[in-house]
Amino acid sequence: MSHTFAACTNCHSVNRIQREKAAKAVCGKCQSPIRFHGLVSEVNSADFQKILKVSDRPVIVDFWASWCGPCKMYGPEFEKASLQNDQAVFLKINTESEQALSGNLGIRGIPCTIIFKDGKEIKRQAGAMSSEGVNSLLTSI
């Protein structure tokens, strides 16, 4: 069985979730529903760091903002890629609410997709992509 990781928006516990059960996922600690967009989990900086520490697979992150037109076009493609690829954990981080993290990572333009493995950045791609482009980015690592 394939799995992903998501942080609970209520208690901020990291949960390992079977992909097949993601639609009805609940937090193992507080029993709150865990919401996904496709198989993409939206996280804050602290939850992002927790997931990087526990993930046994690459973590691919879409850095975005609500005012960004290309981000709005890219979001559904990123979600589509999350459903097509079980070899990575898919996360979204809002750069407006997580400005310190965006600054620390040197994000200069959005959307920006970064792949992390073993807690370290290994690949970065600026701009919107198709779901096929996201999958190609993942297979290139």
Active site residues: 68, 71
Q: Could you tell me the maximum CA-CA distance found in the chain, to the nearest angstrom?
A: 38
Question: Taken in order 36, 38, 44, 47, is the CA torsion positive or negative?
Answer: positive
Identity of the amino acid at 123 = K
Separation CA 95–CA 64 (nearest Å): 6
Q: Strand, helix or coil at 101?
A: helix
Beta partners for 28?
A: none
